Amino acid sequence: MEAALHERRSIREFRDAALTLSDLSQLLWAAQGVTSPSGFRTAPSAGALFPLECHLLAGRVSELAVAVYRYDPLRHELSETAPGDRRAALALAALGQSWIAAASAILVLAAVDRRTTGKYGERGIRYIHIEAGHVAQNVYLQAAALGLGTTIVGAFSDDRVHELLEMNSEERPICLLPVGHP
């Protein structure tokens, strides 16, 4: 664990190399993976309400078609939600941060606020953002352990990201986590 903490950095430059499906699977599990029969996950969640959804833009991942996916943590599976490579469009939606398009894959965390605000009221929004921070740190540490790099991105057009990923109406994008080989 100390090695991953020591190696963790915000990486914004990626080599033109594919992620393995195994590494991507491990990153997704680190983000939202189920760790107990009762459904608890790798990151703490206020009231165990799990308001976050994890989307994936796969560009260069061995054994995985270039597309947009939704991660199902209970089954540890991906389901395709939209075809094609949308990384460049996402980089434009992220206020033109072109380096994002060079990532092999991009994890996008989105919130379904009512899952948490239904119990905690407006304070639940704070809890959602805290949870997103825990998830992002898990991804950072797992990426470091795998010899990969990432950084959290919060500067983007919410509406454009929502549209690009074809999110459902209840979802609100929280952050982007581009991942690749440094």
Q: What is the three-class DSSP state of 136? A: helix
* pLDDT tens for each residue of the chain, 182 residues long: 677 666 766 767 899 999 999 999 999 999 999 999 999 999 999 999 999 999 999 999 999 999 999 999 999 999 999 999 999 999 999 999 999 999 999 999 999 999 999 999 999 999 999 999 999 999 999 999 999 999 999 999 999 999 999 999 999 999 999 999 99
Q: What is the CA radius of gyration of the chain?
A: 15
pLDDT at 127: 98
Cβ(141)–Cβ(166) below 8 Å: no
**Consecutive H or E run containing 163:** helix 158-164
pLDDT at 1: 64
pLDDT at 10: 73
pTM for this structure? 0.95
- Cα 87 to Cα 9, 46, 58, 91: the distances in Å are 22, 31, 8, 6
Cβ(138)–Cβ(41) below 8 Å: no
What is the tally of structural domains in the chain?
A: 1
Count of beta carbons in the 10 Å neighbourhood of residue 5 = 12
Query: What is the domain-level CATH number for residue 153?
Result: 3.40.109.10
Residue range of the domain that includes 94: 2-180
Q: What is the three-class DSSP state of 137? A: helix
Q: How does 127-158 read in b/e, with b if 16+ C-beta sit within 10 Å?
A: bbeebbebbbebbbbbbbbbebbbbbbeebee
